């Protein structure tokens, strides 16, 4: 029995993003993100919680300052007390694991999605994804970009505007493009 495109995607294998099931799931996530963005500031917490549960597939106490964008939502695993500032983008074609008390500055972008380096392969429409893991008590400053396959250790601070291409250990301040360890915390 052959794998579905979704199974291939989640396994990190080449898959077609144009697969009807994946397209439908992305459109559903966009509608939920739009609904979250359109909630009045005085909306009952139960209404906000219900939308977040629909988006992420589990109850969460995460706080999202809209707008917020993601591909699927269901591939994002959130710890306790996670905060997303304005304009965060999470391309969750693979699992994104986020620990407890993680802070996302404005315009943080988390990308699990990638494309082949070879142009002919890119033209085929196939893509792939690599999971990202962010430990407890991490702070990602405004405009940080985290690339596919990266792990960021607990208690680390990533400086604003950094592009994280490689794993960053726990308990450090890291910054730059490419992001590198500046000092231990």
Q: Which of 123, 121, 135, 117 is nearest to 174 (CA)?
A: 135
Q: Which of 166, 105, 112, 162 is nearest to 138 (CA)?
A: 105
- Among residues 28, 115, 130, 180, the one annotated as catalytic is 115
- Phi and psi at residue 77, in whole multiples of 5°? -105, 115
Q: Which residues 6+ apart lie within 8 Å of 140 measured at CB?
A: 102, 103, 104, 105, 108, 134, 146, 152, 158
Beta strands 126-129; 15-16: pairing state: antiparallel
Question: Locate tokens 């308990």: which residue?
Answer: 171
Question: Which runs of consecutive H residues, i.e. helices, occur in 42-166?
Answer: 45-56, 119-123
Q: In what order do the strands lie in the sheet containing 76-78?
A: 76-78, 96-98, 132-134, 151-152
Q: Is 28 annotated as catalytic?
A: no
Kindly list the catalytic residues: 115
């Amino acid at each position: 029995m052959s794998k579905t495109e979704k199974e291939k995607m989640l396994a990190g294998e080449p898959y077609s993003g144009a697969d009807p099931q994946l397209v439908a799931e992305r459109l559903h996530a966009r509608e939920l993100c739009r609904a979250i963005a359109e909630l009045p500031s005085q909306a009952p917490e139960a209404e906000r919680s219900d939308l977040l549960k629909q988006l992420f597939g589990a109850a969460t106490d995460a706080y999202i300052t809209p707008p917020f964008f993601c591909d699927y939502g269901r591939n994002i695993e959130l710890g306790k007390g996670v905060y997303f500032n304005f304009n965060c983008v999470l391309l969750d074609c693979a699992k994104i694991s986020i620990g407890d008390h993680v802070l996302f500055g404005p315009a943080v972008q988390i990308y699990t999605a990638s494309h082949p380096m070879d142009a002919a392969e890119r033209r085929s429409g196939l893509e792939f994804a690599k999971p990202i893991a962010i430990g407890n008590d991490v702070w990602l400053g405004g405009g940080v970009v985290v690339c596919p396959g990266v792990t960021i250790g607990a208690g680390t601070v990533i400086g604003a505007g950094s592009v994280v291409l490689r794993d960053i250990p726990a308990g450090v301040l890291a910054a730059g493009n490419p992001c590198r360890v500046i000092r231990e915390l």
